[in-house]
Amino acid sequence: MSPSDGLRRMADRLAGRQQPAEDERLVALFRNRAQLKQELLALDEERHRLLDRLKLQEGATMRVEEQLDALEQYLGRPAEGYKCLAYFQLRALWRAAAGRVERFATELVRQQKDRERKAQLASFEAAKRGRVADVDRELVEARVLADQLQAEQRLAEQRLETLGGIWNHFRRKRLLEAIEARRVRIDAALSQVTDLGDRRHEVESEPPPALEGLSLEGRRAINLAVIACADALRERLSSQGLADLSRETTRRRVYDTNYGGRDECLALMQRASQAIGEIERLQDDLAALKGRIDALRGAVRYRGAADTVPTPDSLQAAGEVLVDEYWDVYKSLLR
């Protein structure tokens, strides 16, 4: 831009003459600058957030490395090796029992959903049939009325054709008024028949509602069965002296355990391995748990009307499953 152009533009501004194109360009530049500034601030905040997450991850990684170093030094002492193997064998037993309870709960949820869905569909279809029947009754009445009015109209029109001559003038007039009034009623009746037919189609085409979730009774029944399953496992493994030992692995570090010498650790590992095999071979059998479930149902209490997890003290011996959280049972219970 030449000096003369600059002077001319300055003179135009001083004289109050606008330059729309130039002004719009300046406004656009300022707007873009503001948007870029906002985006830069957002990126800066994201950068700080990612840096914070990186620091947290570095701290977690450092702690894991320290634990691995400590474990490596621990395993480097031959006397501790068998104890460590026994510890992790018991951990595997705990996971096997917890997995068994979780799979049992998952299967119960699937079965309960199927039952409640079938019941919901049956109720929905019964209600739909009732509504269709109501519409059908109205539809029959509307068709009868329309047929009757149309028959009366045809008779009236035939009679009108027979009323000739000037002496029937007033009769024709009254009959014509009746025919016109009846035509309005016929149109209304036919419209009602159409509307009722459409409503019947809508009712018949209405899709069933989705299953929102399991009922309170269903969730409570599943939870009692899951608790019974977990309690049966606890009793089974307690008879072998393994339930409490496997539970300790979830609350104590390997360094804080003591299972005796080499022979004791080997014997413990063998019992734990056999128990894992037995758990993996178990089949879901509600019939075998029925007596236990019925006993729980007869004594169970809940803190509130909407609660699904019973109070541990109402379960008697089975309450230990909840109090001591055997097999991570709370992860499998429905809320």
The DSSP string of 37-100 is: HHHHHHHHHHHHHHHHHHHHHHHHHHHHHHHHHHHHHHHTSHHHHHHHHHHHHHHHHHHHHHHH
- How far is residue 38 from each of residues 26, 31, 32, 176, 314, measured CA to CA in Å? 19, 11, 10, 79, 59
The 10s digit of each residue's pLDDT in 232-257 is: 999 999 988 899 999 999 888 887 88
Residue 108, pLDDT score: 93
Residue-wise pLDDT for 2-50, tens only, equals 555 555 555 555 555 555 666 677 667 767 777 877 888 888 888 888 8
Between 21 and 269, where is the model more confident?
269
**CA 149-151-155 angle, 5° bins:** 115
The model's pLDDT over 92-109, given as tens digits with 9 standing for 90+, comes to 999 999 999 999 999 999
Q: In angstroms, rounded to a whole number, what is the distance separating the alpha carbons of residues 55 and 60?
A: 9
Round the CA-based radius of gyration of the chain to a whole number and report it: 42
DSSP string, 257-318: ----SHHHHHHHHHHHHHHHHHHHH----HHHHHHHHHHHHHH---SSTT--SPPGGGGGGG
Q: What are the extents of the domains in the chain?
A: 3-72, 80-115+215-331, 121-205
The amino acid sitting at 69 is D
Q: What is the H or E stretch that residue 256 is in?
A: none
* Residue 218, amino acid: G
pLDDT over 90 (residue 77): no
Compute the distance between CA of residue 105 and CA of residue 333 in angstroms, rounded to an integer.
8
Residue 214 confidence (pLDDT): 92
For residues 109 and 119, give the distance between their C-alpha atoms in angstroms, rounded to a whole number. Answer: 15
Model confidence band, residue 187 (pLDDT cutoffs 50, 70, 90): very high
Helix (H, G, I), strand (E, B) or coil at 151: helix
**CA gap 64, 71 in Å, rounded:** 10
Highest mean pLDDT among 14-23, 143-152, 156-165, 250-259: 143-152
The pLDDT of residue 55 is: 81
